[in-house]
Amino acid sequence: MTLIYRKATLADLEILTETRIEVLRAANQLGSDADMTEVKKQSLEYYQNALKNDTHLAYLIFDDETFVGAGGISYYRVMPTYHNPTGKKAYIMNMYTKPDYRRQGIAFKTLDLLVADAKARGITAISLEATDMGRTLYSKYGFVKMNDEMELPN
């Protein structure tokens, strides 16, 4: 097995968008009958803009020429705080490894590449939303559960 980790470019829009839909179907336990047309359209638009303006970085992982996984990180800014005086934040998302390649360290290495990029940008406020399947990986890496955030449901 020869794994290649490479940064996604605008030439990878199709694989990025398809992977996003696959991740969302798995995370939300959606069948193939769930209409993802609008999500797919918006995801494509997101990647087009975010890759151009450097507010998103994605890694694609290949075994020779076979796609086996991906991971992404979005960059944004909020008002500065005492603990985050720059207000710069990063959000890890769309972590995915094909079933036959799981439990081989691929997701851990992808996560490490994403975190390293954020730190190289001077960003230390890094968060993510963990599924049950990913929680062990993120805990092993050092992520901790947040207690203070709240969300207004739809």
Average pLDDT across each block of 10 residues of the chain; the chain has 154 residues. List them in order.
Answer: 94 96 90 95 97 98 95 97 95 94 96 97 94 91 88 85
Phi and psi at 111, nearest 5°, equal -60, -45
In a domain, 90, yes or no: yes
CATH number at 65 reads 3.40.630.30
Range of the domain at 44: 3-141
Q: Where are the alpha helices (DSSP H) in 1-154?
A: 13-27, 37-52, 106-120, 132-141
Query: Do the domain assignments include residue 89?
Result: yes
Do residues 24 and 39 lie in contact, with contact meaning Cβ atoms separated by under 8 Å?
yes
Asked if the structure places residue 93 within a domain, the reply is: yes
Tokens of 99: 């079933």
The one-letter code for the residue type at 98 is K
Residue 8 lies in a domain: yes
pTM: 0.92
Residue linked to tokens 């890496």: 141
d(CA 99, CA 122): 34
The answer to whether position 115 is within a domain reads yes
Q: CA-CA distance, 101 to 144, in Å (whole number)?
A: 26
Domain assignment of residue 146, yes or no: no
* Residue 152: inside a domain: no
Residues 139-151: pLDDT tens digits?
999 999 988 888 8
Within-domain flag for 149: no
Tally of domains within the chain: 1
